[in-house]
């Protein structure tokens, strides 16, 4: 028999860590339903990627290459930098944690918008630093002026998420450049571009066009979303060498597996990548069509530049999420705030539109902001 799970302990833990909410993966989708809660790519790997992963699996008795040199070289070539200006991590969440640890300690502040990526508050707390959350604008985008104004002597890191997870709004190039002009050059700015490949707004910031321009800017990207490799955990950072070196020092060694780098390298080969980017294009169009249809139903959907849309359901969040679940759709609900729905299988779109069309009326309260 297993002992009942203890809910308290006398072991002296860091109180701020013990108080963190436990990670909840979200409910599994019902049979024949749709898991639209984690912004995953609905397609499985292309054959070349699957084969590369299988080949790498045959060598898992060996430790991986600690610096993921081959993948860094491919990425360096792609972005026109040296391989020292690329850092690979076990997903860009790992890299975010590494950069925050490298720059922010107890007493220091990390500024980011809110609502934004759920992982940010925990990463900051684990570093022992303090979160400074700047409310989004009424259009659900970052308020970069307020974020710049929130920088104090204690600020060590500012995280900009574009497109913002979970609201979907991208920061524009002009907004970002104005913002960078206001940020002191000795404070680290992390531009989290996990959804960069889905962006179709020409005015949106593109970190890759800013490489080398700012001594305090690091870009974060991932193979999890557009490249469909969420399960193997691989992401990368591009930025100035001394900052990347500091982040490298905070990593748990050998976190990036050979299976992961083999998958990423295969995904970057021309034939595989062409197919993956074709799929991204299908998802971006599906997203735009879904958003347009929801707006036509009366939903105030903000600009959507990632592979998801945001429903500002406010105090009806629980009810709407439940109705979606009953129809076979698992979405990510943020109680009191809204629901993020990933753009997934083609067949999920009709289900979403049917359910959501029944829930919205011309005078819904959530339409007011």
Ligand X SMILES: *Cc1c(COP(=O)(O)O)cnc(C)c1O
Q: Which residues bind ligand X (CB under 6 A)?
A: 39, 91-93, 117, 161, 165, 192, 194, 222, 224-225, 230, 235
Shortest spacing between CB 193 and ligand X, in angstroms: 8
Shortest spacing between CB 161 and ligand X, in angstroms: 5
CB-wise, 230 or 351, nearer to ligand X?
230
Shortest spacing between CB 261 and ligand X, in angstroms: 14
CB-wise, 257 or 316, nearer to ligand X?
257
Distances (CA, A) of 260 to 134, 187, 226, 244: 35, 31, 15, 20
Shortest spacing between CB 239 and ligand X, in angstroms: 16
CB-wise, 132 or 229, nearer to ligand X?
229
Name the closest residue to ligand X (Cβ).
Answer: 91
Shortest spacing between CB 298 and ligand X, in angstroms: 28
CB-wise, 260 or 360, nearer to ligand X?
260
CB-wise, 161 or 183, nearer to ligand X?
161
CB-wise, 156 or 225, nearer to ligand X?
225
Shortest spacing between CB 120 and ligand X, in angstroms: 8
């Amino acid at each position: 028999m297993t002992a009942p799970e203890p809910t308290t302990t006398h072991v002296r833990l860091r109180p701020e860590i013990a108080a963190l909410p436990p990670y909840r993966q979200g409910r599994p989708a019902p049979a024949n339903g749709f898991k639209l809660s984690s912004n995953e790519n609905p397609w499985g790997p292309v054959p070349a990627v699957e084969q590369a992963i299988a080949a790498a699996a045959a060598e898992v008795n060996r430790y991986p290459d600690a610096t993921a040199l081959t993948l860094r070289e491919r990425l360096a070539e792609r972005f026109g930098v040296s391989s020292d200006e690329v850092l690979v991590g076990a997903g860009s969440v790992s890299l975010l944690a590494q950069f925050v640890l490298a720059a922010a300690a107890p007493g220091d502040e990390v500024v980011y918008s809110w609502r934004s990526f759920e992982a940010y508050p925990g990463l900051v707390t684990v570093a022992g630093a303090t979160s400074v959350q700047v409310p989004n604008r009424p259009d659900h985008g970052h308020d970069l002026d307020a974020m710049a104004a929130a920088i104090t002597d204690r600020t060590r890191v500012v995280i900009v998420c574009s497109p913002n997870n979970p609201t979907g709004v991208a920061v524009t190039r002009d907004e970002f450049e104005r913002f960078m002009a206001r940020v002191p050059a000795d404070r680290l700015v992390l531009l989290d571009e996990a959804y960069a490949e889905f962006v179709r707004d020409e005015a949106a910031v593109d970190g890759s066009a800013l490489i080398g321009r700012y001594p305090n800017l690091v870009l974060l990207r991932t193979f999890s979303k557009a490249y469909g490799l969420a399960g193997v955990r691989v992401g990368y950072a591009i930025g100035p060498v001394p900052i990347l070196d500091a982040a490298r020092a905070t990593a748990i060694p050998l976190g990036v597996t050979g299976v992961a780098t083999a998958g990423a390298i295969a995904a970057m080969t021309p034939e595989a990548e062409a197919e993956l980017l074709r799929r991204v294009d299908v998802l971006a169009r599906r997203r735009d069509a879904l958003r347009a249809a929801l707006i036509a139903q009366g939903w105030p959907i903000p600009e959507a530049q990632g592979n998801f849309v945001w429903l500002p359901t406010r105090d009806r969040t629980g009810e709407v999420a439940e109705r979606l679940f009953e129809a076979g759709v698992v979405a990510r609900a943020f109680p009191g705030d809204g629901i993020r729905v990933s753009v997934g299988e083609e067949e999920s779109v009709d289900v979403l539109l049917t359910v959501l069309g029944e829930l919205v009326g011309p005078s819904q309260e959530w339409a007011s902001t």
